Amino acid sequence: MVAKRLRFEVFVLVYLALRSGLALVALLFRGREAKDLEILVLRHQLAVLRRQSARPKLKPADRALLAAFSRGVPRERWRAFFVEPDTLLRWHRRLVARRWSYGSRPGRPRKPKATREFVLRMARENDTWGYRRIAGELQRLGIEVAPATVWAILKNAGVEPAPRRTGPSWPEFLRAQAKGILACDFFTVETAMLRRLYVLFFIEHATRRVHIAGVSANPTGEWTVQQARNLAMTLDDRGDAFRFLIRDGDKKFTRAFDAVFEAEGMNVISTPPRAPQANAIAERWVGAVRRECLDRMLTLSRPHLQATLSAYTEHYNGHRPHRALDMQPPVPRQPLCAVGKGPPEVVRQDVLGGLIHEYQIAA
């Protein structure tokens, strides 16, 4: 595209030069008085045009022709042009540079795109690595890239080559600490007879596994403590160890409730008031169970709610994919089967009377 445009501009320039040359030959056979009179008329017309247009629009061919003519006019006479002398010189330098420009850039060829993307990937995934550390890791993998080249790749991409470009974000920090965090909360459900039921649940931050502790119409501090003891025994049987428990400031979480988990070596953290994001993972599960289950059915009684939550929790823990777990369920019931060349045979299993569907590859 650039070469085609350049050829077109050269053609226009040759045409204008030829036309000007013929006009110059015609002027040689004209009288002196006629030439002087025409020059005066042209100068006056130029002065009129300058008053009307502060900055005339020029085409590339006009710039090239004026720059070429300026070489044949003495410098002290350059005021006849309607542009500044520096502008004429700049046009001429640009014309010379274009004349001697080459299609390919000289010098060392660029690294392959895959190598540059891999360097940037390593920089994103390891914020404490400098360009020399990345170059050493590439050399260990058999990829020969000089440290200066790594530095240039990072700099051109807007990434600082020095270590510790940025600190860990909150999601990264929490993900690193999630293995030892357990969260709990209450949420309410209104039955068909307008009776309010309270549900106490626990959720593991690392695996997103949910435990329904109990359902009650009148939860007290003693009831909450008993549910905590039941969960502690379940965790002991599994051999899981947690370091922190996150809860809000509900009065049902009494001092005896905290003592149950402190006896297991856990630190109890109370969230600030009116700060749902401090317990975001638990709040997200409440939103999921409401959208996918409770808001789509009528709850008749406490046993009905317990059975519903038991079925949904089994689906949530064993089948439902999670973005935080790379689209895997918290506790997969069976490993995923490799799909062959042909389309697999899929069977559907209904949960909660067909409210939720689960799909499995047929055995």
pLDDT digits (tens, 9 = 90+) for 183-218: 999 999 999 999 999 999 999 998 899 999 999 999
| Element containing residue 280 per DSSP (H, E) | helix 280-292
Please name which of 164, 85, 72, 155 lies closest in space to residue 120, comparing C-alpha atoms: 155
Residue 58 φ/ψ, nearest 5 degrees: -115, 145
Q: What is the pLDDT of residue 344?
A: 63
Whether this model's pTM surpasses 0.85: no
User: Cβ–Cβ contacts within 10 Å for residue 319, how many?
Assistant: 20
What is the separation of C-alpha 275 from the centre of its chain, rounded to a whole number of angstroms?
27
Helical ranges in 80-130 per DSSP H: 85-99, 113-125
Q: Are 264 and 165 in contact (CB under 8 A)?
A: no
How much is the pLDDT for 335? 58
Q: Report the pLDDT value the prediction gives residue 122, as an integer from 0 to 100.
A: 86
Q: 3-class DSSP state for residue 96?
A: helix
Q: What does the block give as tokens for 248?
A: 């809000």
Tens digits of residue pLDDT in 57-110: 667 777 666 666 666 666 666 656 656 667 767 767 777 777 666 655 556 677
For residue 321, what are the β-bridge partners?
A: none
Considering the four listed CATH numbers 3.30.420.10, 1.10.150.120, 3.40.50.200, 3.20.20.80, the one that applies to the domain covering 175-325 is 3.30.420.10
Distance CA 331, CA 315 (A): 10
Residue with tokens 């005339």: 56
